Amino acid sequence: MMKFLKMHGAGNDYVYVDCFTEPAPADPAALAPRIADRHTGVGGDGLILVVPSPRAAARMRMFNADGSESEMCGNGVRCVAHLVVARGHAPAGAVTIETGRGVLTVVVQPAGPRRSQVRVDMGEPLLEAAAIPVTGVGAGRVVEVECAALGPHEAWWEAVGLDPRMTCVSMGNPHAVLYCRDVAAVPLDVVGPRIERHASFPRRVNVHFVERLARDHVRMRTWERGSGITLACGTGASAVCVAGVLTGRTDGKLSADLPGGRLELEWPGDGPVLMTGPAEEVFEGIWYGD
């Protein structure tokens, strides 16, 4: 029997376990697909453990809906920071959270007992092909490079106004960003898994299709590595902000509209990416397991 909390950040929803008060599950990788199942489990994009840390106010361990463990989740870390403050493990304001990306500084502004607005220092993007990682594209930055993972030309490319060149960024996890005219019409359920698992990406990749609305405003949709289509991706929105600056398509301050809500990003061209968005509790419950 395990107590849990369901939370979401801009619709990117996870099951959270407060391991300050609950024992950590013995096999979280095996538990994640079961508890994240939207028919027979709690439902969510995965499982996140909030664990005591000697280096920070808390440590985040994040498992995708397929059980794979990821280094970082931007929406997840906002919710972790909210939980840490709301449950009294740290005071409001600047909070440090240990992630697979390292220790991040997060500023929590409570907006009620179950909701906070959270600003995250996402760290500096990694831009070299080997660091992302991406293969078959040469050394250096991967900026507007032909995306071999798309495969042969298809009719939907014209229908959505696709630019088949990708820009790749790591925010501690790998991202491929592609631009198009009509993001809603992209067959994401087909092309997302094709790109995610292509041989070009040794650790798989998160895939984002982006429609530019203005120099400071985009609309985007995401296929997340290990989880599929999600309503929001904080590291992905950060990668989109970086890609927009690198390609000259958008400015360093950017509003990103995702199916689950809006995130605000800042990246002046060097240094860390800053991301601001909501973290909201949905409900608490008890997982009985087998």
Catalytic residues: 73, 233
Nearest Cα to 232, choosing from 258, 212, 209, 206?
258
Tokens of 137: 């594209």
Q: Distance between CA 134 and CA 140 in Å, rounded?
A: 10
Nearest Cα to 278, choosing from 135, 95, 117?
117
What does the DSSP 8-state code read for residue 153? -
CA dihedral 278, 61, 267, 125 (to 10 degrees): -160
Angle between helices 74-86 and 234-247 (to 10 degrees): 130
Nearest Cα to 143, choosing from 155, 156, 134?
134
